């Protein structure tokens, strides 16, 4: 029991990084209407304020690899928690301080740095510390936390906004929305000091006794000794005094496969649906603005439920079966939406299509990609490889979030032939690529130790 509680504590604390990922990403959606009025933002400036955090996310993911190697997964997460806390306070600076658009953007970028660092280190930390038989489920805590973060921040901003008049929201309500993030960010910072360091990072730094102590606490003595031997064998193969050549063909191939999978997670169109969900419901499905709350709650609820499904099946069915099932569901969901748009028969089937897509993503590409990224890379290159893959994912996120409204508003998309359905057919094409990449290049990692997975690439 003590072992289970210890593991649960580790997963819960590190997954708080995921909750802050979702919270920090989502808080701007609730606050942007009021701060736009407060600062009298143009459309261009509004886009910059909302999207500036993505710049921080990309930079944070890039620096996360070297940072993780130098100071370890635990201290990298502590730094990300500090970024989250500074960003939350600074974004909602009280009126006593001279808040400006530029200062707001700076603090949003700082929050993005926190997301970037945490999005690489949190799932990797969990994977490196979890027993192989439950590693998949434990890493999906991270995706679950992201989904919960979106849901909680939506409720928080809604209740803060409803408690004040519109003029009060414009004057200071949006500041409170940002400050609401201080609660989880400070909690994350404090609790991180009680979790252990990654045993694989400790072994990488030659601190074998410390690594073995943690492994014993997690796995028991016999399994810990066996796992420690595998870790040392893995490290010794490339630890002959020669630095890792990241441009060697074998290593480039592994990094490329992980990066492509990471990018394809964004090219499913998930963030187009999450970021522009209200616009899709209103413009494509004909819902009124007064229904936005119900729509967002429905999306968040479906996302949450099927993330739980993934969490309890990823170690039972395996990673690849969930990717196949989820891809089929995502394709069917977008086909329903696209065909109803093309044929001017928007209605219940369209809504079912959107919800089926969300459910299928939450079952597959959402959590499973984080599981695979955290476990598919060899010990010696894991930090740098994950840093590249996650940075590429944030770049892809930016491309999708910027291009989706452009494609939606294009003449081609609004022609009689497509009638607003073109983006969804583009996403379907990318989902088909996911099926091919999964079949051809992705190893099944269910039940294997990280060192056994490493043998797949040899």
pLDDT at 241: 43
Predicted confidence (pLDDT) at residue 63 exceeds the cutoff of 50: yes
Query: Is the CB of residue 354 less than 8 Å from the CB of residue 216?
Result: no
| Digit-coded pLDDT (tens) for 428-437 | 999 999 999 9
Chain mean position to CA 136 = 15
Instruction: Count CB neighbours of 95 within 10 A.
Output: 9
| Digit-coded pLDDT (tens) for 73-93 | 999 999 999 999 999 999 988
Please report, rounded to a whole number, the percentage of residues in the chain having pLDDT higher than 70. 92
pLDDT at 288: 58
pLDDT at 292: 56
Top pLDDT among 137 and 315 is at 315
**Dihedral in degrees, nearest 10, Cα atoms 342, 265, 319, 357:** -30
- For residues 223-237, give the mean pLDDT: 83
The full DSSP string for 271-297 is: HHHHHSHHHIIIIIS---GGGHHHHHH
- For residues 87-107, give the mean pLDDT: 85
> What is the rounded distance in angstroms from the CA atom of residue 235 to the CA atom of residue 212?
15
Enclosing H/E stretch for 101? helix 101-129
- For residues 309-314, give the mean pLDDT: 92
Alpha-carbon distances, residue 351 vs 69, 279, 283, 357 (angstroms)? 45, 13, 13, 10
Is the pTM value of this prediction over 0.75? yes
Q: Which range has the worst mean pLDDT, 165-174, 332-341, 410-419?
A: 165-174
**335: which residues sit within 8 A by CB, 6+ positions away?**
353, 424, 428
Confidence band (pLDDT; 50, 70, 90) for 412?
A: very high
Confidence band (pLDDT; 50, 70, 90) for 425?
A: very high
> For residue 263, what are its two tokens?
């990018």
Predicted confidence (pLDDT) at residue 273 exceeds the cutoff of 90: no
Of how many residues is the chain composed? 458
> For residue 204, what are its two tokens?
């990488």
Predicted confidence (pLDDT) at residue 232 exceeds the cutoff of 90: no
Q: Which range has the worst mean pLDDT, 14-18, 108-112, 183-187, 237-241?
A: 237-241
Phi and psi at 293, nearest 5°, equal: -60, -50
> What is the rounded distance in angstroms from the CA atom of residue 160 to the CA atom of residue 158?
6
- For residues 129-142, give the mean pLDDT: 84
Confidence band (pLDDT; 50, 70, 90) for 279?
A: low
Q: Treating both helix axes as pointing N-terminal to C-terminal, what angle do 182-192 and 2-39 enclose, rounded to 10 degrees?
A: 150
**345: which residues sit within 8 A by CB, 6+ positions away?**
none
> What is the rounded distance in angstroms from the CA atom of residue 453 to the CA atom of residue 447?
10
Q: In whole numbers, what is the pLDDT of the chain averaged over residues?
A: 87
Longest dimension (CA), the chain: 69
Q: Which of 201, 199, 198, 124 is nearest to 370 (CA)?
A: 124
> What is the rounded distance in angstroms from the CA atom of residue 369 to the CA atom of residue 454?
17
- For residues 397-413, give the mean pLDDT: 87
> For residue 264, what are its two tokens?
């394809």
Alpha-carbon distances, residue 54 vs 7, 106, 244, 406 (angstroms)? 32, 12, 30, 18
Top pLDDT among 276 and 80 is at 80
Predicted confidence (pLDDT) at residue 1 exceeds the cutoff of 80: no
Confidence band (pLDDT; 50, 70, 90) for 296?
A: low
Query: Is the CB of residue 381 less than 8 Å from the CB of residue 249?
Result: no
> What is the rounded distance in angstroms from the CA atom of residue 289 to the CA atom of residue 307?
28
The full DSSP string for 162-206 is: HTS-HHHIIIIIHHHHHHTTHHHHHHHHHHHTTSPPPHHHHHHTT
| Digit-coded pLDDT (tens) for 14-53 | 778 889 888 887 788 778 778 888 888 887 787 788 778 8
Top pLDDT among 289 and 419 is at 419
pLDDT at 240: 45
3-state SS, residue 143: helix
Chain mean position to CA 317 = 22
Q: Which range has the worst mean pLDDT, 86-90, 141-145, 358-362?
A: 141-145
Confidence band (pLDDT; 50, 70, 90) for 283?
A: low
Q: Which of 391, 388, 358 is nearest to 376 (CA)?
A: 388
- For residues 262-278, give the mean pLDDT: 85
DSSP 379: G
DSSP 85: H
């Amino acid at each position: 029991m003590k072992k289970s509680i210890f593991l649960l504590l580790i997963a819960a604390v590190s997954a708080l990084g995921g909750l802050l990922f979702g919270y920090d990403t989502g808080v701007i959606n609730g606050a942007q209407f009021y701060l736009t009025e407060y600062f009298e933002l143009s459309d261009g400036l509004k886009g910059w304020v909302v999207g500036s955090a993505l710049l921080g996310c990309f930079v944070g993911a890039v620096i996360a690899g070297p940072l993780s190697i130098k100071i370890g997964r635990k201290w990298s997460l502590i730094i990300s928690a500090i970024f989250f806390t500074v960003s939350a306070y600074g974004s909602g600076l009280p009126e006593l301080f001279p808040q400006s658009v530029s200062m707001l953007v700076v603090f949003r970028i700082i929050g993005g740095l926190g997301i970037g660092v945490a999005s690489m280190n949190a799932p990797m930390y969990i994977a490196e510390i979890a027993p192989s038989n439950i590693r998949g489920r434990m890493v999906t805590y991270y995706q679950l936390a992201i989904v919960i973060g979106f849901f909680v921040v939506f409720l928080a901003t809604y209740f803060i906004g409803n408690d004040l008049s519109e003029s009060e929201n414009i004057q200071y309500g949006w500041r409170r929305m940002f400050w609401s993030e201080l609660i989880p960010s400070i909690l994350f910072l404090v609790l991180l000091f009680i979790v252990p360091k990654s045993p694989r990072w400790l072994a990488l730094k030659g601190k074998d006794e410390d690594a073995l102590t943690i492994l014993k606490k997690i796995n028991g003595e016999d399994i810990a000794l066996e796992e420690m031997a595998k870790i040392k064998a893995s490290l010794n193969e490339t630890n002959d005094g020669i630095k890792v050549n990241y441009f060697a063909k074998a290593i480039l191939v592994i990094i490329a496969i992980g990066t492509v999978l990471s990018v394809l997670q964004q090219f499913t169109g998930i963030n187009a649906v999450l970021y522009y969900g209200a616009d899709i419901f209103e413009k494509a499905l004909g819902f009124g603005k007064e229904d936005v709350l119900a729509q967002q709650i429905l999306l968040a609820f479906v996302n949450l439920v099927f993330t739980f499904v993934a969490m309890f099946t990823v170690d039972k069915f395996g990673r690849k079966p969930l990717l196949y099932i989820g891809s089929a569901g995502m394709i069917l969901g977008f086909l329903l939406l696209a065909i109803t748009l093309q044929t001017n028969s928007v209605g219940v089937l369209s809504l079912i299509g959107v919800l089926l897509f969300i459910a299928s993503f939450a079952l597959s590409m959402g959590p499973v990609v984080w599981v695979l990224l955290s476990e598919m890379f060899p010990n010696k290159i894991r930090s740098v490889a994950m840093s590249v893959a996650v940075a590429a994912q944030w770049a892809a996120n930016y491309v999708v979030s910027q291009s989706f409204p452009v494609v939606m508003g294009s003449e081609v998309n609004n022609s009689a032939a497509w009638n607003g359905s073109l983006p969804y057919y583009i996403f379907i094409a990318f989902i088909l690529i996911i099926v091919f990449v999964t079949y051809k290049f992705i190893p099944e990692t269910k039940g294997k130790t990280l060192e056994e997975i490493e043998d797949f690439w040899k």
